[in-house]
A and B are shown apart, each in its own frame.
Chain A
């Protein structure tokens, strides 16, 4: 079972919800709990889960390498490249690896067989344990633009026999799609403000397009207005829980401490988990 935690807007409490749900499940003796941090540009779950990292592996994409002895500068590679990652001059081929998506088109269509592919590292994958949770995170190298291939690698680690919690990056574009795609359920974390509502609407559209079941968690309830609730009512979207605004929670968060140490919050996660199970079965 895959449960992703997304939000549209950043900083609404995605990581807080994801981490505490995973800890709640692990402490309630659910088996095979897995945590995947797919916010590979800015992974933060490790701060709260404090995993013991046992394994690291490089994540690469395949980029072309031209053998200029075989190349006759016909320009076919540049013609087939949809990303403008190759330019062919009179007697030189220029490759722009940051633009390359690794589609393999240039290699496949080179009439002289002059292109081979080599691995280019764009990030790392860390695996370890946090309590009984198996923890996996991806991390994009600084200066690299493409997060999606790393998210794809992280998601290959999904254990189909367990419960996988995915921390999704903010936004609504490709990295978000890669992270939430094929989830059984998505928790959308928002806050009751105009920004929270605007981005929630976008996130809802994404999930509808991907046909993923979802429910909303309102974090910092009480700070803004009632428009998020009104929107959910109008759209018949279930609000699974409201986590009241509490300066104490903000302080715990700032220190990297899980809010489950307070009994009231443990109860909220129990309620969230019950609702998820019911929604998935329905």
Chain B
């Protein structure tokens, strides 16, 4: 049975990826998946050696054949995404605003619009010093993030199956929308990395409602807990009320940044209290997930 754990945060910059990198160093018999596909950073710690590279094709964009266009403007009227407009007696389709629904192409009486499949990014299967990793790069200003996340997860799963690995550890994206939902559906455990700032607490509340909405077991890790003890206490009592376990409280430590600058996880960088604290957190996750 393959188990899955996803690390998310709601708010960006709480230390999600740094912590995921540590878990990569600590977890055994696993595959890593980076599902923060539009601003991926895990590769900067794990330095994947890319073995396979695939195009990600999803959706399509409307393309106008100006020679056929009679300027009837029906496309402008039917487009719900304000992606088609008129400029100097010409119909212009804005590829960035186009959501690829295809209504304009189907409705055009002159068949002057065609839909063209677009390449929206790439995904990779790689080796790292901590085992295999699946990751991706969404094309600039592209959509279909959720689909690419799903693709990364599917491939991580099939590689795990093939190689007899029994765990998938996923670094998730910030927020609570489409890519986050795609990163957490069906996983065994969500780890939320938060920090004691009012912004992170507000975001934690929303992200916990999301995992509750999907009925996924969730634990919380408080990073930089000594930045504001009062807020840390707020998080603790809030989690207690919701009956959520706080895995660990990690102090602010600039060695996280120093390790990142060297392209290392803090586990490899030193053996300080922070490292010990993260090791304990991982042991706890490992026990919970393999239960």
Chain A residues within 8 Å of B, Cβ to Cβ: 8-12, 15, 41-42, 44, 47, 62, 80, 82-83, 101-105, 108-109, 140, 142-147, 169-177, 181, 193-195, 198-199, 202, 205-206, 209-210, 223-225, 247, 250-251, 253-256
Which of B41, B107, B199 meets A44, CB within 8 Å? B199
Q: Does B160 sit at the interface, judged by CB under 8 A?
A: no
B176 touches A142 (CB 8 A): yes
A172 touches B39 (CB 8 A): yes
Nearest neighbor of A61 in chain B, beta-carbon distance: B80
Chain B residues within 8 Å of A, Cβ to Cβ: 9-14, 17, 38-39, 41, 44, 59-60, 78, 80-81, 96-97, 99-103, 106-107, 138, 140-143, 145-146, 173-181, 195-199, 202-203, 206, 209-210, 213-214, 227-228, 231, 252, 254, 257, 260-261, 263
A255 touches B228 (CB 8 A): yes
Q: Are A104 and B176 also in contact (CB < 8 A) when A195-B41, A205-B140 are?
A: no
Which residues of A lie under 8 Å from residue B13 when comparing CB positions? Answer: 9-12
CA distance A253 to B202 in the complex (A): 13
The listed residue with most B CB atoms (<10 A of its CB), out of A170, A173, A255, is A173
A108 touches B78 (CB 8 A): yes
A209 touches B44 (CB 8 A): no
Which residues of B lie under 8 Å from residue A210 when comparing CB positions? Answer: 96, 141
CA distance A108 to B79 in the complex (A): 11
Which of B44, B143, B145, B214 meets A195, CB within 8 Å? B44
Which of B39, B100, B195, B209 meets A171, CB within 8 Å? B39
Which of B107, B138, B146, B176 meets A41, CB within 8 Å? B176
CA distance A80 to B227 in the complex (A): 53
Beyond the given A47-B198, A172-B138, A194-B41, please list 15 additional residue pairs across the A-B interface where CB-CB is below 8 A.
Answer: A9-B12, A62-B80, A103-B99, A109-B106, A140-B177, A145-B181, A171-B39, A171-B174, A181-B96, A181-B97, A195-B17, A250-B252, A253-B199, A254-B197, A255-B231
A254 touches B196 (CB 8 A): yes
B58, chain A: closest CB distance, angstroms:
10
Is chain B's interface secondary structure helix, strand, loop, or mixed overall?
loop
B227 touches A254 (CB 8 A): yes
CA distance A61 to B11 in the complex (A): 26
A15 touches B206 (CB 8 A): no
Nearest neighbor of A142 in chain B, beta-carbon distance: B209
Q: Are A170 and B175 also in contact (CB < 8 A) when A103-B101, A142-B209 are?
A: yes
A199 touches B254 (CB 8 A): no
Which residues of B lie under 8 Å from residue A103 when comparing CB positions? Answer: 80-81, 99, 101, 103
Which residues of B lie under 8 Å from residue A199 when comparing CB positions? Answer: 39, 41
Q: Write 17 A-B pairs (CB below 8 A) sorted by A numbering.
A: A9-B39, A11-B14, A101-B99, A142-B210, A142-B213, A143-B213, A143-B214, A170-B175, A173-B138, A195-B260, A202-B140, A209-B141, A210-B96, A223-B254, A224-B260, A254-B195, A254-B198
A80 touches B102 (CB 8 A): yes
Which residues of B lie under 8 Å from residue A8 when comparing CB positions? Answer: 39
Which of A10, A82, A102, A247 meets B174, CB within 8 Å? A10
A59, chain B: closest CB distance, angstroms:
14
Nearest neighbor of A140 in chain B, beta-carbon distance: B177
CA distance A177 to B144 in the complex (A): 13
CA distance A251 to B230 in the complex (A): 11
The listed residue with most A CB atoms (<10 A of its CB), out of B100, B146, B176, is B176
B41 touches A42 (CB 8 A): no
A211, chain B: closest CB distance, angstroms:
11
A7, chain B: closest CB distance, angstroms:
8
B17, chain A: closest CB distance, angstroms:
7
B222, chain A: closest CB distance, angstroms:
12
CA distance A209 to B141 in the complex (A): 8
CA distance A83 to B99 in the complex (A): 10
Which of A41, A80, A198 meets B175, CB within 8 Å? A41
Which residues of A lie under 8 Å from residue B197 when comparing CB positions? Answer: 253-254, 256
CA distance A15 to B60 in the complex (A): 34
Which residues of A lie under 8 Å from residue B11 when comparing CB positions? Answer: 10-11, 42, 44
CA distance A266 to B109 in the complex (A): 59
A173 touches B141 (CB 8 A): yes
Which residues of B lie under 8 Å from residue A82 when comparing CB positions? Answer: 59-60, 100-102
Which residues of A lie under 8 Å from residue B146 when comparing CB positions? Answer: 145
A98, chain B: closest CB distance, angstroms:
9
A169 touches B175 (CB 8 A): yes
Which residues of A lie under 8 Å from residue B106 when comparing CB positions? Answer: 80, 105, 109
